[in-house]
Structure 1
Amino acid sequence: MPENHNENPWVETLKTLAISAVLAFGVRTFVAEARYIPSTSMLPTLEVNDRLLVEKVGYRFGSPERGEIVVFEATEELQRQGYNDAFIKRIIGLPGETIEVSGGVVYIDGEPLAEDYIADQPEYQFGPVTIPDDQYIVLGDNRNNSLDSHAWGFVPADNIIGRATIRFWPFDRIGTIEEPSYPE
């Protein structure tokens, strides 16, 4: 049976655009989305105007790990302070751990955390605090210039949008976002 080529080209174009829009919405909502870096809070790892791919599927099957860079919706405390945009920070403290920042060092359950990715040692004191279930402590890599958990508290797991995986802009910095390895 011959194919019907009599369909109006405008109708075909509209069908194609509608299908494309639905697919794009589905991918952005459930799989991955692009984000940009608006501030210096993640220097030196991420620079202002870096463009990243944020993967959203992984946390449906597992939990965030220490060292991962995550994008999250503003917490209730941040919203009370007038912040509504998403944030990007590094997971430092996991549920059930006790975190303290003292003398320029982050301590997890009393043990210092080796951090070769930060801009400078933190010049503030924080904690000790024990992280509740299903919540995290996140800090910017530019510790002294980052609005992060040391200023406003915990990030609920439900607020986490996804994990930064790939930098796709600028071209001279394209690549995966490396995560540090910590001794067990």
Structure 2
Amino acid sequence: MKNSRKKEILSWVKTLVIAAAIVFICRYFLFTPSTVLGDSMYPTLEDGNMVMVSKISDIQRFDKIIFHAPDADENYVKRVIGLPGDTIEMKDDVLYVNGKAYDEPYLKKNKQKLTIYEHLTNNFTLKNITGKEKVPKDRLFVMGDNRQNSRDSRFFGFISEDSIVGKVEFRYFPFNEIGGIE
């Protein structure tokens, strides 16, 4: 009887250790949860949203990423606008990357709130705000979707690729908004 109970306890301990190891590996090497703080990504992401971040995804232009803030002791969530080697310009609320105009549909809601004479994003060139013509190697240029209320590369410059926690893959809270993010 005692031997049978001992085997059952060992079986449970083994199962829990394996489950803990799987959680540890996933949490520290593959995915991590994060909570959005602030309104810099509104309306795409809102203060208090909980998101799952992939630590192994390739980062592409317009991805939403979490990174260690260069100007604060916290993590920021922003959208990747410029990759290494890119030139960036904002003119009359139109984004130009390497001379090509890009539509930014994720800004539509914020632009609808503006008067006809207002711009969501002030005009700039990369050279004006960073002193560089192109995004340097191993660096990214990021901006929040709530352009009038975002501390981003326009203020603190490029971010290091080493500072990236990961790519925002999906929202899991609030429950009525679970799923992928535009």
Calculate the TM-score normalised by the size of structure 1: 0.79
1:96 and 2:96 aligned: no
Separation in structure 2 between the aligned mates of residue 124 and residue 35 of structure 1, nearest angstrom: 32
Is 1:72 the counterpart of 2:67 in the alignment?
Answer: yes
CA pair 5-57 structure 1, distance change in 2 beyond 3 A:
farther
Q: Deviations over 1:43-88 (max 9, x none)?
A: 11111111111111223xxxx111110111223xx2xxxx121111
Please give the root-mean-square deviation of Cα atoms over the aligned residues, in Å: 2.6
SS at match of 1:101: strand
Structure 1 Cα separation of the partners of residues 7 and 68 of structure 2: 44
**Structure 2 residue 123 is the aligned partner of structure 1 residue 105:** no
State how 1:1-150 maps to structure 2 within 5 Å. 4-7=3-6, 18-59=17-58, 64-75=59-70, 78=71, 83-118=72-107, 119-120=110-111, 121-123=120-122, 125-128=124-127, 129-150=133-154
CA distance in 1, matches of 2:140, 2:55: 17
Residue pair 1:103, 1:125 contacting (<8 A) in 2 also = no
**Kindly, what percent of the aligned residue pairs are identical?**
35
Q: Which residue identity does 2:105 align to in structure 1?
A: D
Contact 1:126 1:150 in 2 (8 A): no
Aligned position for 1:167: 171
Shift of 1:160: 1.3
TM-score by length of 2: 0.79
Report the count of equivalent residues. Answer: 167
Structure 2 counterpart of 1:165, one-letter code? E
Distance 1:44 1:134 in 2: 29
Contact 2:90 2:122 in 1 (8 A): no
**Tell me, what secondary structure is at the counterpart of 2:136?**
coil
Please identify which structure carries the higher helix content: 2
Which consecutive residues of structure 1, in runs of 5 or more, have no partner in the other structure?
179-184
Give the deviation of 1:22 after TM superposition.
3.6
